[in-house]
Amino acid sequence: MSVIPADTSDFNERTRMEHQNNQAESEPNRPGARALGAAPSAGGNEGPAAAAAGAEPRAEQREAGDGPAAWAAATGANAIAAAGGEYEEEEPRLWTTLEQLAGDPAVAALAAREFKNDPRPSTAPGLFPIIGQSAVPAAPAAAAQDGQSGVDRRKFLQWSTAAMALATAACTRKPVSYLVPYAQQPPEIIPGMANFYATTCQECSSSCGLVVKTRDGRPIKVEGNPEHPLNRGRVCARGQATFLNLYDPDRLPHPIRLRRGHVPPPAAGPRSPYVRFNSASPLQNYYLRGDRGTVPPQITPGEPVSWGEIDKEIAAALRRAGANGVLLTGTVHGPARTQLIAEFTQFFGMRHVVYDAFNPDALLAGQTAGYGAGVVPRYFFDRAEMVVTFGADPLAQGASPLEYMYGFGHQRKLRLSTGGSPVEASLAARKNGYKPQRMSRVVAFEPAMSQTGLNADTRHYVLPQDLLPVALAVAHQLVVVDKRSAFANNPAVTAALAPYAPAEIEKAAGLKSGVVAQTAAELWQHRGKGLVYASGLAAGTALAAELEAVAAFLNSALENEGATVDGAVSPSQQMQGSNADMLALCDDMRAGKVQAIVIYGTNPAYTLPQAADFAAALAKVPYVVVLGQRLDETGRLANVVLTSLHGQESWGDAEPQKGLYSLVQPTIAPLFDGRAFEDSLIAIARTAGATQFDRQVSAAPAAAAVAAAPPAAAGKTAGAKGKAQAQAATPAAAPAAPAKREPMDFHAYIQQVWKTQLYGKYKVAGSWEDFWTGVLRQGYFDPMAEQRAAAGQPRSYRPAALAAAAHAAAATGPRPSGDEFAFSLVVSPLTGDGRCGNNAFLLEIPDPVSKVCWDNFVAVSPATAKRLGWEHGDVVEFEANGARLRAPILRQPGVHPNAATLAVGWGRTSVGMIGNGVGVNAFPLAGVQGRQIITSGAVVRLRKVPGVYYDLANPQGNNYLEGRKVALATTLEKLQGNALAGNVPPQKDESIWHNGGTSDHTFPGNHWGMTIDMNACIGCNACMAACHSENNVPIVGKTQVQVGREMDWIRIDRYYTGAYENPDILLEPMLCQQCVNASCESVCPVIATMTNGEGINVQVYNRCVGTRFCGNNSPYKVRRFNYYAYGEIQYERGAPLELALNPDVTLRSRGVMEKCNFCLQRINAAHIKSQQLGVPIPDGGFQTACQQTCPSEAIYFGNMNDPNARMMQARGPRGFEVLANVNNQPSIDYQLKVRNIPVWKSAEDQA
Amino acid sequence: MSVKLKQHWRLTAIVVILLGFAGWKGLGQFTNVGYSPVQPIPFSHRLHAGINHIPCMYCHAGVEYSSQSPIPPLNVCMGCHSVVDANRPLIQRIAKAYASGTPFRFVRVYQLPEYVKFRHSPHIDAGIACQTCHGQIESMNQVTEVHQFAMGECINCHRARNYMPAAAIRKHRDYQLAYLPSLDRHINAPVDCNTCHN
């Protein structure tokens, strides 16, 4: 065993290959690294002396030969005969922030103090140095709240006694409350029991299947539909946060008419620096000042209108407009919806334009050039063993992100080379080590670190301008140099690729020599099982279509087409928008060719570039109708805004991939005076005289079945009190009135379309009623499952497309030089395109890469920032494509020195009380070139704004490790030689509990535990959102996060290792470890926390007196103290927000410690069920919320007393306990991170 | 001494008031016994459950599955009373309420704090009679609370029927251990804090 001193830079190598090639030059290349690395490591990283001291006892232990045995005991696994396992300790120099890496004394001070808890971040010395004066007047407010409000102890006591006296005088019984039963109880409802409905998520157009838990007619939790082919039971963070959108008090309460041009701006104007730099959103004011009574009410401008009146007006306007009318929507798919829109537009003779914030124009152009037909292919990430991305982020911004996340994460898990499940691989590893195991390899070429890049084994930063040449160089290497693939002898291809010799491209792009050759060789090695992916905002240069054409070429050449890429059988329909159509529409509007426009499901006033000048174009349209759940930026420019419904309130259908049909059914009656978009279309068309939406009542039995919808108010979506399923299942009483024409609502319309198009077309056996009820229960209809899985015949690639791309690539446009930056827009997976902008969960859950919340920022390389003298808190001003913007900078490791990125989806101005003015809107910075929208590659100059300081909230910097190795990693190659590679031998302290190590806790029945596979964790934060939703975890606001008071029960820690330019990443989900010898328990003076009979460290809120000793003594920093009544405040915002609360979980009050408890309410429910059935709880009988939603199944949960539990079997020899030396005996076993960095062989060796 | 008291009279007063408040609070929390609010409709458990022997779960259907004991909806009342005594004025009030879909607002008698998550179904499953907690409800014309729902009552019953982890005994040492004769079937009534508090 060799202990490497901490300051050796060997650990900084990106790949072995790089190391071999560039050992000599690695240091001179990195002056910044040397300077930073040489700084005294006061931040807690062990210096050489400490490492040497630590080495001695470990060596002794090894001589005693009890290393592996001790390890086995430590993990609680069965004795594992890890073949020749030997601890080979690396020195993971973990760091989380640049301040820590640089050895900032403030970090050491914070680490020593453990908790931030400083109410004045802006004035704290050292850690957040102030440059100039603060633009943020938040500090005094914070100080006033935190015990410095002038109320001293004596006053407080005097007041409390007075209050007590008054309370005694006015004593009564507890407040009287009422029990109100149903008048007519629906048969499927038992008060207090949950019902579950299958539906389809409507938060984005990828349309994943959901199972919605409703209690007493209100949905409270979503989980993935485990049978749905798209998401297979998983839900992303946005899906989990859906109820904050549904129950949002800021939704538009009723339809309104506006005076165009006279709509008052939202509370604070976008020009105000106060809002632009979002020192405090209204929510934060709310928290900070405590002025709960003065929350500004949501002001709805305009005047309310009645539905009948407005339908007439719209119908008349659309009649008048005729062919000059336009229906502008976001992506809409699903047979009934598509047909309805077709019938509607046909009836009025109007045009339908589809536009979203992110559109596949470039992808379609590349596919059309390559294959003749433009489709968005379906990518099988679950079959890809090698993924190469070019400026793309499929995990954050794919057409079907959850499907990609599922596949990507599963392929990251170790498996036997012969196949099988990851659990089988773990079991095999216990016997034979990891010898024959494999995992996927991910290589990313990108300008700045994306979520996919975060998970890449090898990451290369290149400028957006260089993405296309590098892709062509890979093709050159593959076809011309290595003479591989079916195109090797194609003269057109070789001629086109001739100018892109890797050596020159690598030099120009700043890549290490040999990178291209290695990538090409590895891709060929994994041919038929690889994936080249190049769709994303950061790849959206003027040559994005050419890049897509080259990516398509690579996929074809590597035989991935038809294997991992399906463009023939079941392509994706999840992205149908078109930038070109939208820009053409803008031109038409400017030319006065549009007389009336109906806009739904898209927000062009917010998402279009400034150069498109949408507001001015729309002003030329005489009549504008916007349908939306809230009054958004586009709605403010309209004549009338109609209230539409949330996905949980409406009927609908979806066809996310060709041949996969998914159904949307309501789980709650509309909360506001709203009407579904589809029902509005029907009502408007009927008002204008359309007859195809009428139905004959009681004409034929078939029609009666179709008419099973309950009588609802004119056109209103049915489904009161979440009993949609029963209504559909039980035929309605036949109305008495004979043959009368009645409006058909969309519920009946869907049934009609599904009956004729699906039930009839696919010749389903059984009756229509059975089919419909079955689909309602299942949530989807997948008649072509086998064909869809087969991915179809490979399409043949036209070499001319490659030639055109290669020709176009010769002119890559301007490159940044010196202090210039190539600017790219990027997407955060949480905020997406900004449509969830008022969702507090998504604003507070940190960005996976930067870990910054409540803001977006310009990410620049730390080295460049250092050269330019930029510090934390600086604000830059810049101009891109004619739009000017100010935004704070973030020094983000892994960004190209000449690249800068800014996330879109922030800076909403009209979304609601929470989201207005949070962050800055980056969409206007995109460029318009012809009919193309350019999101990447603009050359900009960033100018620091003097005298402005802006503090970002970064929860990852709220705690620091004192050089402890909490997250471990190794490489696949090392692991295959040694099953214990990278693992740290446990040198356990003596426990203060009984018997010198084991307490007197015994767990005769169940002992709940968890296994977390760090390989599979992709950092998406879905677990955080699920935990928030399940456990009523409150949101605290930016200022509270800044002082370290975030309340997350689970978080994903992101650690960097290596040099700061392009570090390696370790993602580690961190939650309460449910220790057997819990150190938090032994310090609680009131025994409010204790290990229960099943090994869970329970927190008894009503017993807790808030000493915070436990939080202090817990080494994992997972206990959260409720400084204010965060939960109560959050839900005091107004009705109906409190309906989102889980009634099975106590809403914690102020002054109480809280933390993860493995979803105790679910454990209790499982116990009750097992007691009633008289059988023990089976393995997998219930799931924790985080485990249930994890898109990559990184979390296993089960009974540690059951060796056959899947969770126990997933514990392979690479498991470790976090801080095992503290001897807390945690119940969570982490499987250390394995990087797939193969030893590079040259082309000759491979052959 | 007196000087000191004089000096600290404010403190003394505060302590006295605090003690008084604690005493009042202690009393106030547990003196719900006898609470018997007047309900919007004078439903008599004595008549239905006592004299006519209608089983509890005929009306409180679902209590064996649910955490709550559901208050019967009006359609359950009307199941019988559309025929039985349909002409009496009180019944007609019910019929009217049912027809108009406006249920009665019953005053809640039994109420536990929000941090106590009591679940009916496991207790029904364990064979605990309704009367164990709700008193001789079949003899009440107007429902009256007869038990203090303090934690001691819960825990004593649970403790009598179960294993006890050593830790839990330590935590509850201030409660008298009272071993009742065990039931003929094993009932896993846990005394972990999280049984009721989560």
Confidence (pLDDT) at B27: 58
The residue-averaged pLDDT of A49-77 equals 36
Looking at the structure of chain A, the number of domains it has is: 3
CB pair distance less than 8 Å for A164 and B194: no
Confidence (pLDDT) at A993: 67
Confidence (pLDDT) at B14: 85
The residue-averaged pLDDT of A1068-1090 equals 91
pLDDT over threshold 90, residue A352: yes
What's the pLDDT band for A855 if we cut at 50, 70, 90?
confident
- On the CB side of A707, CA atoms within 13 Å amount to 23
User: A1029 and A915: one domain?
Assistant: no
Confidence (pLDDT) at A230: 93
Q: Please indicate if any CB of chain A lies within 8 Å of the CB of B127.
A: no
Residue B53 sits at the vertex; the CA angle it makes with B47 and B57, to the nearest 5 degrees, is: 100
How many CB atoms within 10 Å of residue A1180? 13
Match 């008022």 to its residue by tokens: A838
How many CB atoms within 10 Å of residue A703? 14
Q: What is the CA radius of gyration of chain A?
A: 30
Strands B106-107 and A932-934 turn out to be unpaired
User: Looking at chain A from residue 1044 to 1103, which residues have their Cβ under 8 Å from any Cβ of chain B?
Assistant: 1087, 1090-1094, 1096, 1098, 1100-1103
Strands A883-891 and A858-860 turn out to be parallel
Hey, what are B113's tokens? 């704090």
pLDDT over threshold 60, residue A134: no
Hey, what are A500's tokens? 């892109």
- Residue A287 belongs to a domain: no
How far is Cα A88 from Cα A653, in angstroms, rounded to an integer? 55
Q: What is the CATH number of the domain that holds A385?
A: 3.40.228.10
What's the pLDDT band for A894 if we cut at 50, 70, 90?
very high
The residue-averaged pLDDT of A664-687 equals 94
Confidence (pLDDT) at B152: 83
Q: Is the ipTM of this complex over 0.85?
A: no
- Residue A931 belongs to a domain: yes
User: A903 and A1034: one domain?
Assistant: no
Of A901, A923, A952, the residue that ends a domain is A952
- Residue A292 belongs to a domain: no
Of A767, A784, A806, the residue that ends a domain is A806
- Average pLDDT along chain A: 81
Whether residue A186 contacts residue A723, with contact meaning beta carbons closer than 8 Å, is answered with: yes
Q: In sequence order, what are the residues at sequence separation of 6 or more whose Cβ sits closer than 8 angstroms to the Cβ of residue B76?
A: A185, B59, B61
User: A487 and A525: one domain?
Assistant: yes
| A976 φ, ψ (degrees, to nearest 5) | -70, -25
User: A1025 and A1172: one domain?
Assistant: yes
Q: Terminal CA-to-CA distance of chain B, rounded, Å?
A: 48
pLDDT more than 90, % of chain B = 33
Tell me which amino acid residue B23 is: G
Cβ-in-10-Å burial (0-12, 13-18, 19+) of A732 comes to: middle
Q: Higher-confidence residue: A153 or A1106? A: A1106
Whether residue A698 contacts residue A706, with contact meaning beta carbons closer than 8 Å, is answered with: no
Give the closest of B32, B72, B113 to A181, CB-based: B72
User: A945 and A983: one domain?
Assistant: no
What's the pLDDT band for A127 if we cut at 50, 70, 90?
very low
User: A870 and A1015: one domain?
Assistant: no
CB pair distance less than 8 Å for B122 and A1168: yes
What's the pLDDT band for B9 if we cut at 50, 70, 90?
confident
Match 């109420």 to its residue by tokens: B111
Work out the minimum CA distance from A219 to partner chain B, whole angstroms.
17
Confidence (pLDDT) at A162: 61
CB pair distance less than 8 Å for A1146 and B197: yes
- Residue A699 belongs to a domain: no
Q: What is the CATH number of the domain that holds A915?
A: 2.40.40.20
What is the SS3 assignment for A1075-1135? CCCCCCHHHCCCCCEEECCCCCEEECCCCCCCCCHHHHHCCCCCCEECCCCHHHHHHCCCC
Q: pLDDT digit string (tens) for A1109-1123?
A: 999 899 898 999 988
Whether residue A414 contacts residue A608, with contact meaning beta carbons closer than 8 Å, is answered with: no
Whether residue A1030 contacts residue A1142, with contact meaning beta carbons closer than 8 Å, is answered with: yes
Confidence (pLDDT) at B162: 57
pLDDT over threshold 80, residue A427: yes
Cβ-in-10-Å burial (0-12, 13-18, 19+) of A150 comes to: exposed
Confidence (pLDDT) at A390: 95
- Residue A506 belongs to a domain: yes
Confidence (pLDDT) at A74: 36
Closest CA to A992 of A1219, A1218, A1224, A1217: A1224
Which residue of chain A comes nearest to B34, CA vs CA?
A173
How far is Cα A1076 from Cα A140, in angstroms, rounded to an integer? 43
Confidence (pLDDT) at A161: 61
Q: What is the CATH number of the domain that holds A1068?
A: 3.30.70.20
What's the pLDDT band for B26 if we cut at 50, 70, 90?
low
- β-bridge mates for residue A877, sequence order: A886, A943
User: A1017 and A934: one domain?
Assistant: no
Give the closest of A167, A193, A1090 to B66, CB-based: A193
How far is Cα A354 from Cα A346, in angstroms, rounded to an integer? 16
Q: In sequence order, what are the residues at sequence separation of 6 or more whose Cβ sits closer than 8 angstroms to the Cβ of residue A1135?
A: A249
pLDDT over threshold 70, residue A1143: yes
- Residue A705 belongs to a domain: no
Confidence (pLDDT) at A139: 35
User: A902 and A995: one domain?
Assistant: no
Measured between alpha carbons, how far is residue A91 from residues A39, A46, B18 in Å?
18, 10, 57
Tell me which amino acid residue B116 is: V
Measured between alpha carbons, how far is residue B40 from residues A1227, B46, B58 in Å?
53, 17, 21
**Which residues in chain A are contacts of B115 at CB distance < 8 A?**
1101-1102, 1146
Q: Please indicate if any CB of chain A lies within 8 Å of the CB of B188.
A: yes
Confidence (pLDDT) at A210: 95
- Residue A209 belongs to a domain: no
How far is Cα A203 from Cα A239, in angstroms, rounded to an integer? 6
- Residue A823 belongs to a domain: yes
Confidence (pLDDT) at B48: 93
Whether residue A255 contacts residue A679, with contact meaning beta carbons closer than 8 Å, is answered with: no
Tell me which amino acid residue A757 is: Q
pLDDT more than 70, % of chain A = 80
**Which residues in chain B are contacts of A179 at CB distance < 8 A?**
71, 105-108
Q: Higher-confidence residue: A147 or A985? A: A985
Confidence (pLDDT) at A1120: 93
How far is Cα A697 from Cα A521, in angstroms, rounded to an integer? 67
Give the best residue of A160, A190, A1006, A1156 to mutate against chain B (max B CB count within 10 A): A190
How many CB atoms within 10 Å of residue B88? 11
Confidence (pLDDT) at A810: 86
Confidence (pLDDT) at A411: 94
- β-bridge mates for residue A221, sequence order: A213
Containing structural domain, residue A545: 361-573+801-806
User: A860 and A976: one domain?
Assistant: no
Lowest mean pLDDT among A201-205, A458-462, A1168-1172: A1168-1172
The residue-averaged pLDDT of B90-97 equals 94
CB pair distance less than 8 Å for A183 and B97: yes
Q: Please indicate if any CB of chain A lies within 8 Å of the CB of B79.
A: no
Closest CA to A905 of A847, A970, A979, A972: A847
pLDDT more than 90, % of chain A = 56
What's the pLDDT band for A452 if we cut at 50, 70, 90?
very high
Closest CA to A982 of A42, A89, A38, A76: A89
Q: In sequence order, what are the residues at sequence separation of 6 or more whose Cβ sits closer than 8 angstroms to the Cβ of residue A750?
A: A336, A651, A652, A653, A663
| A721 φ, ψ (degrees, to nearest 5) | 55, 35
How far is Cα A128 from Cα A116, in angstroms, rounded to an integer? 12
Confidence (pLDDT) at A703: 40
Q: Please indicate if any CB of chain B lies within 8 Å of the CB of A183.
A: yes
Q: pLDDT digit string (tens) for A790-844?
A: 878 899 999 999 999 999 998 868 899 888 999 999 998 899 999 998 898 999 9
Q: In sequence order, what are the residues at sequence separation of 6 or more whose Cβ sits closer than 8 angstroms to the Cβ of residue A179?
A: B71, B105, B106, B107, B108
Which 8-state DSSP code applies to residue A463?
-
User: A842 and A979: one domain?
Assistant: no
Lowest mean pLDDT among A96-110, A327-341, A538-552, B17-31: B17-31
**Which residues in chain A are contacts of B24 at CB distance < 8 A?**
168, 171
pLDDT over threshold 60, residue A574: yes
What's the pLDDT band for B64 if we cut at 50, 70, 90?
confident
Q: Please indicate if any CB of chain B lies within 8 Å of the CB of A150.
A: no
Confidence (pLDDT) at A321: 93
Q: pLDDT digit string (tens) for A498-514?
A: 999 999 999 999 998 89
Work out the minimum CA distance from B10 to partner chain A, whole angstroms.
9
Confidence (pLDDT) at A86: 58
Of A784, A806, A828, the residue that ends a domain is A806
Which 8-state DSSP code applies to residue A426?
H
Tell me which amino acid residue A751 is: Q
Lowest mean pLDDT among A256-270, A436-450, A676-690, A896-910: A256-270
How far is Cα A515 from Cα A511, in angstroms, rounded to an integer? 7
How far is Cα A765 from Cα A771, in angstroms, rounded to an integer? 8
Confidence (pLDDT) at B114: 85
Work out the minimum CA distance from B2 to partner chain A, whole angstroms.
22
pLDDT over threshold 70, residue A132: no
User: Looking at chain B from residue 11 to 70, which residues have their Cβ under 8 Å from any Cβ of chain A?
Assistant: 13-14, 17-18, 20-21, 24, 28, 32, 35, 37, 61-62, 65-68, 70
Whether residue B70 contacts residue B63, with contact meaning beta carbons closer than 8 Å, is answered with: yes
pLDDT over threshold 90, residue A1221: no
User: A1153 and A1128: one domain?
Assistant: yes
Confidence (pLDDT) at A699: 44
For the whole model, what pTM was predicted?
A: 0.84
User: A861 and A976: one domain?
Assistant: no
